[in-house]
Structure 1
Amino acid sequence: MTNDFSVLPVVPPDEGEVPDGVRTAVAGAATISRGVWLDLFGHVDFARSPEAWLHRMTHRVSYDRPLLVAVAGARADLVGLKVDDVLGYAYYDVPTADNLHTLDALELGVRPSARRRGVGSALVAAVKADAAARGRTHVMGWMDAPIAGTDETGALRSRTDPITARPTAGSAFALAHGFAVAQIERYSVLTVPAVLADAEVAPGYRLEAWIGPTPPHHRAGLASLWTAFGNDQPLGDVALGEEAWDADRIAATEAASAAVCERCTAVAIHEASGEVVGASQLFRDLDKDEAATQGVTQVLRTHRGHRLGLALKRHNLRVAKAGWPALERIHTWNAGENDHMWRINEALGYQTRAAEICWQWIAPSETTD
């Protein structure tokens, strides 16, 4: 706490009436977040409504989702708070089932009029303190930046990725607070074509797709794929490991987000065995008809080489467009070293828009011999 501002946790109750101060703090954070996304991309496809923030914070499966806010003045609580009193926020995931050494998906935003006053630094310090209190040694967050030229002086690089990023004010802030580049992904966007190509699936396989919850008879197969993805995905130096999924976790995760998010899932089934051997998911926030994001696409190693990844994405796109007729664009990210997935995305018509940097902070005790 300073005389200028205070950093406070925002803790909505899991049940019952949400206090006015909590609602106001969340609304203030959502307002700042919306402005950040608008400045970065010229759209608000990634901005969440205050209601969606509250839902995510109170409907948790495998993650807690803390929110910290920097508020004007010396305050001990959120009583009487006004939206304009919120100067900045930090929002992040605390895994509770896997990767228990991490705080992940850190999102940080500061109101433009409050920048260069130490607000961002105070929020980062509070996140690191929370990590220490929870026994977490790694903090990760993602940040967009322009893609740099191959030989551009001062370009940001990771150890494993061919993509480089141009330094920004955000990257300077991350470096100043002890974060390092752990991976650089390619951020791309698909403008959904008016006419979609048919998905051609290899002999011996069939495709199924649906919008909404996973049918019970496919939950175990999907869980096996998501567990395998944790081992297969290119991670560079990002300190994440396997996530253990089962049918119950699939059902609980989908139920927790159903009020704010809808998913479209395609699966590839090996006809001889009946096994689900591949899957791809798209997600759409219920308050955004025009935009969706591409989630995981995974094919079991023993069934690769049959162009199932491309078939899954094409089929899922057709089903999504039929069910979400206002859909205009899909956002996706893939590791810079994942050339195979980029070739699939390129074949579908995705165009690269930016680099997405994973910034990772490691507690000093973990980086010394």
Structure 2
Amino acid sequence: MTTITVTEVTIPDSLDAPDAPEFLACVDVRNTVWRDDSGTDDLTATAAELLPGWQKTTFEPKRMFAARLDGRLVARGIYETRTEEAADTVWLMAEVLRDARGHGVGEALAQHLEGIALSEGKTRAIVYAPSWKTGGIRIPSPTGFGSVPAGTPEVRLLQSLGYTLEQVERGSRLALPLESDVLQAAHDAARAAAGPDYRVHTWAGPTPPVWREDIAHLLTRMSTDAPTAGLEEPEDPWTVERLLEDEAKEAESPRTSIVAAVEHVPSGALVGFTEMTAPAERERTVGQEDTIVLREHRGHRLGMLLKAANVLWLEEVSPGHPSIITYNAEENRHMLAVNEALGFVPFVYEGAWRKDLLGSA
């Protein structure tokens, strides 16, 4: 008879702290799971890159859990919440090594995380679960865009736990470098379409002081303007205080933030931005983070302008990376069209699942 135990992982102050080994071991589990499932190193991350994110707890409380099968570390769980308006929601994740699947580890870990959520009065759980299988019988998204495979372990587990598929996200990869004349032409065409009322600004690293309030506003709008379908993800307010804490922690990471933002010249305010984070090693993949154009400024090709400008900026300040990875909701056809025009191609589809916890208490 196998024994499954779940314990909370201490987040260390540094990677050489006495309590760091379990955190480091869980990072190894994370990377092994993503490498084995995807067949690539594109989605792996170093402990030095991940630790700052785990230390940001004032506005983004999060906890890590380790699951052991007969004493062996085989899985990692994530329990993430927010404050204020979003405090009723919890985001969960379970990552189980391939050779430990089929023994109930994922279910035990999920039930442990849900138990904490119920004890804290959370009313809604959201899980983003990648589904790597292609073909076969599919479960369509209720949005009408995208699907996930039926009968796979992650889908069966989520359904057995009472989760409902609400949305499908597409993971896309852009191979670099792009032909410089093609990229520049896309940028110039978008800039011409935007006209003189819009101006692009770029920077690497922390947000310049003059733009902090605008970026905080745009980050808040990310939680209300991006399509979330039946997930009904709550507003996630950002302030300058939160932005400064976030950037202070991220400054400890070896990754570099690469940003392009667009200013509405008549008002002097930023109305859109896109951010990538580039690893220090040039042979590794760049991660695409947030991208938004405010609803009231759409229709001017600002999405293409921002994306093209930031790829050009990336090639200037951190050239040589092999690709960029991004995720978008399948129903976000405008942004997907921008990505496809630049050359992004799908590599994975991810189900976004919701469970109303009050009904399961």
TM over 0.5: yes
Query: Match for residue 79 of structure 1?
Result: none
**d(CA) in 2 for partners of 1:122, 1:246:** 37
Query: Match for residue 8 of structure 1?
Result: 7
Whether the aligned pair in 1 keeps the contact of 2:12 and 2:20 (CA below 8 Å) is: no
- SS of structure 2 residue aligned to 1:294: strand
**d(CA) in 1 for partners of 2:178, 2:17:** 43
Query: Match for residue 283 of structure 1?
Result: 277
Query: Match for residue 26 of structure 2?
Result: 29
**d(CA) in 1 for partners of 2:282, 2:124:** 33
1:166 equivalent among 124, 135, 149: 149
**What's the offset of the Cα at 1:131?**
0.5
2:39 partner letter: G
Q: Which has the higher contact order (CA 8 A, sep 6+)?
A: 2
- SS of structure 2 residue aligned to 1:282: strand
Whether the aligned pair in 2 keeps the contact of 1:70 and 1:88 (CA below 8 Å) is: yes
CA RMSD of aligned residues (A): 2.4
In structure 2, relative to structure 1, the CA distance for the partners of 1:193 and 1:14 (3 Å cut) is closer
**What's the offset of the Cα at 1:366?**
4.1
Of the structure 1 ranges 111-120 and 275-284, higher mean CA displacement relative to structure 2 is found in: 111-120
**What's the offset of the Cα at 1:96?**
2.7
Whether the aligned pair in 1 keeps the contact of 2:56 and 2:245 (CA below 8 Å) is: no
2:97 partner letter: R
Whether the aligned pair in 2 keeps the contact of 1:205 and 1:270 (CA below 8 Å) is: yes
Please give the residue correspondences for 1:107-256 in structure 2 after superposition, counting only pairs within 5 Å: 107-146=93-132, 154-167=137-150, 168-196=152-180, 197-198=183-184, 199-200=187-188, 201=191, 202-203=194-195, 204-256=197-249
Of the structure 1 ranges 285-294 and 119-128, higher mean CA displacement relative to structure 2 is found in: 285-294
In structure 2, relative to structure 1, the CA distance for the partners of 1:39 and 1:279 (3 Å cut) is same
Whether the aligned pair in 2 keeps the contact of 1:87 and 1:110 (CA below 8 Å) is: yes
Output one character per residue of 1:35-70: Cα deviation in whole Å (capped at 9) or x when no partner. 211122222232233344443322434112211112
Query: Match for residue 96 of structure 1?
Result: 83
- SS of structure 2 residue aligned to 1:245: coil
Q: Report the TM-score, using the length of structure 1 for normalisation.
A: 0.87
Q: Report the TM-score, using the length of structure 2 for normalisation.
A: 0.88
Residues matched between the structures, number: 350
Structure 2 unmatched runs, 5+: none
1:339 equivalent among 333, 336, 340: 333
- SS of structure 2 residue aligned to 1:296: strand
In structure 2, relative to structure 1, the CA distance for the partners of 1:92 and 1:26 (3 Å cut) is same
Output one character per residue of 1:280-309: Cα deviation in whole Å (capped at 9) or x when no partner. 111234467521122222122222211111
2:10 partner letter: V
Query: Match for residue 81 of structure 1?
Result: none
**d(CA) in 2 for partners of 1:96, 1:223:** 16
**d(CA) in 1 for partners of 2:306, 2:270:** 12
Matched, 1:40 2:27: no
- SS of structure 1 residue aligned to 2:33: helix
**d(CA) in 1 for partners of 2:144, 2:59:** 29
Whether the aligned pair in 2 keeps the contact of 1:91 and 1:107 (CA below 8 Å) is: yes
1:280 partner letter: T
Whether the aligned pair in 2 keeps the contact of 1:26 and 1:53 (CA below 8 Å) is: no
**d(CA) in 2 for partners of 1:178, 1:349:** 38
**d(CA) in 1 for partners of 2:273, 2:7:** 41
Whether the aligned pair in 1 keeps the contact of 2:173 and 2:345 (CA below 8 Å) is: yes
Structure 1 unmatched runs, 5+: 75-84
Whether the aligned pair in 2 keeps the contact of 1:266 and 1:312 (CA below 8 Å) is: yes
Whether the aligned pair in 2 keeps the contact of 1:227 and 1:242 (CA below 8 Å) is: yes
**What's the offset of the Cα at 1:24?**
2.8
Output one character per residue of 1:243-284: Cα deviation in whole Å (capped at 9) or x when no partner. 222222222211122222321111111222222111111123
Query: Match for residue 351 of structure 2?
Result: 357
**d(CA) in 2 for partners of 1:287, 1:366:** 47
In structure 2, relative to structure 1, the CA distance for the partners of 1:303 and 1:115 (3 Å cut) is closer
Matched, 1:295 2:289: yes
In structure 2, relative to structure 1, the CA distance for the partners of 1:92 and 1:192 (3 Å cut) is farther
In structure 2, relative to structure 1, the CA distance for the partners of 1:98 and 1:265 (3 Å cut) is farther
Q: Which has the higher helix share?
A: 2
- SS of structure 1 residue aligned to 2:20: helix
Identity %: 27
- SS of structure 2 residue aligned to 1:311: helix
Output one character per residue of 1:143-199: Cα deviation in whole Å (capped at 9) or x when no partner. 2225867xx6x4112211321222222211221222221210121111123433222
